[in-house]
Structure 1
């Protein structure tokens, strides 16, 4: 099957959306499918307001439409509610082509954290974007329930996976810092609520692995925190494994791939009881969720590494790809 994915989040960006799409693409290609991804890297771009590291395509509609015509895909999946997503959506509606979408980011909450825009208004825009979609793919039950309560329909599950060969328990001596080491991995941006972690009074060391628009200000404000910048591949995996507890202060993520990467590395999770952690961690005995983040950290430190690792082994990218594919098949008439 010839699958086209249109996404406003794509390389050189490094985030959960990009990692999900690229990994599922690899799995689908290994299964014999052809997968093309159209991202902002093919067009003229401008920096996103308040987040210059993210580039937004401009004036892409005509060229994008021509690219779709030339590719002649069997199905089209629109991953994001950005300029390319809207352009692909308009193509599909004009030409009567079925398409699927995904709800990767809690966009209304993201906007609220950056501008005085009412949640109801943002949700109305996002709901209108997804309404014609043959399937709105979401990663968790909590997000599905939230969207249904907001009037979304045609919701299908698309779970996530983790590379358990790369992310695995390793020696703790990679980081020569006072222990216990509490670590955050991800974007350093306002929507990640990172300051809730940084201001905690914890023994040992705090480490932040990642970069983003808020890093300069937060690094200046919290000089005792160890800031490593963004890491990838083997180096990223070694950082994870060197931690004693993974702290996830975000309240806006729809899943949180970093949760699985930490668990696969044998590192327990401390987080708030919100979507993402509630679906990945709650009740599994591999982390602590608490409205008091410090208490969650203290309790998570007592969780055995092997329990975290065993739990993460149950998440497969192949299963994620198969779910994605099954959400496409009913609307294309194609066979696997």
Structure 2
């Protein structure tokens, strides 16, 4: 199958959505599919996303995107993100009467309510308009399925998440691995991800915890938070083997976000053997649930301290049950085929 993914979230951006689609594309290709990704880097003109200048969005006016789709002649089209590329691809498919699928990645309604004081209604209405135009709407968890169905979203199809257990693996037992390479007092409480307001990082930084608090990642709030919390160690982005090394060196992964659709970094931490402390909210609760591999509590300090005693081997074993092979099979099964006649003539 020739699969086209038209996405505003693509490299060189660094976030969970980008990692999901990079990994999905790689597994689809390994299964024999041909994948074409249309991201912002395919366009001559880009502009910074409002509030996130490091994220570049594409200027999609003109024939550029339709010409790319026509040249590829896909058997299926997936449009995950409600940005300029997503809107242009949606318009193209609607105009040509081509079926397409979408997927849910950001709870914009809750985010705008938190940041700007808006009600959740307008943002969810816009997302509902975007996604209900497609023939399939992929959602990560049963909790999210129920919530979105109650808000009027249709054609919902399950698409779980997984973790690359080869890239993210425990390293403490490796010969020569220096678990104290950071040179910081223990225990080490780690956060990995975007440093932005919606991640609720002050709820972690303000905790009275022993040892050290470490942040791997960057974002628009980094400079202000580094000034406000000078005892927190901001290390910037890390990638690949180096990122897994930081996960493995930590004693606990602390995830203070309350507005996640899933939270891939939770799985990545567990795959490296590092237990998780988080609030009992959608995302962490869907992954960890009542298992003994993390502590979910409204008292985040108590959760972080309790997580110190969790068995690291069990965390790894649990993460291994989240298979990318099954995740990719679900994605491919959810796609809606485009009739070959659409490209005739």
State the TM-score bracket (shorter-chain normalisation).
over 0.9
Aligned to 1:9: 9
Aligned to 1:33: 33
Secondary structure of 1:284's partner? coil
Q: 1:234 aligns with which of 241, 247, 251?
A: 241
CA RMSD, 1 decimal? 1.3
Question: What are the residue-to-residue correspondences of 1:133-144 with 2, within 5 Å?
Answer: 133-144=134-145
Secondary structure of 1:229's partner? coil
Question: Is 1:290 equivalent to 2:297 in the alignment?
Answer: yes
Secondary structure of 2:180's partner? helix
Question: Is contact 2:74–2:338 with CA below 8 Å preserved after alignment?
Answer: no
Single out whichever of 169-178 and 278-287 deviates more from structure 2.
169-178
Aligned to 1:164: 165
Q: 1:179 aligns with which of 174, 186, 189?
A: 186
Relative to the length of structure 1, the TM-score reads 0.96
Aligned to 1:243: 250
Relative to the length of structure 2, the TM-score reads 0.94
Give distance in 2, aligned partners of 1:58 and 1:112.
27
Secondary structure of 2:25's partner? helix
Aligned to 1:155: 156
Summarize deviations over 1:126-178 as a string: whole Å, max 9, x none: 10111121111111111111101111111111111111122111232232211
Shift of 1:112: 2.8
Summarize deviations over 1:234-259 as a string: whole Å, max 9, x none: 11110000000000111111111100
Aligned to 2:19: 19
Question: Is contact 2:199–2:257 with CA below 8 Å preserved after alignment?
Answer: yes
Give distance in 1, aligned partners of 2:244 and 2:283.
21
Q: How many residues align?
A: 333
Give distance in 2, aligned partners of 1:325 and 1:226.
41
Question: Is contact 2:75–2:337 with CA below 8 Å preserved after alignment?
Answer: no
Give distance in 1, aligned partners of 2:220 and 2:295.
29
Structure 2, unmatched stretches of 5+, are: 173-178, 341-345
Aligned to 1:94: 95
Structure 1, unmatched stretches of 5+, are: none
Shift of 1:192: 0.8
Note closer, same or farther for the CA distance 1:113–1:42 as it changes in structure 2 (3 Å cut).
Answer: farther
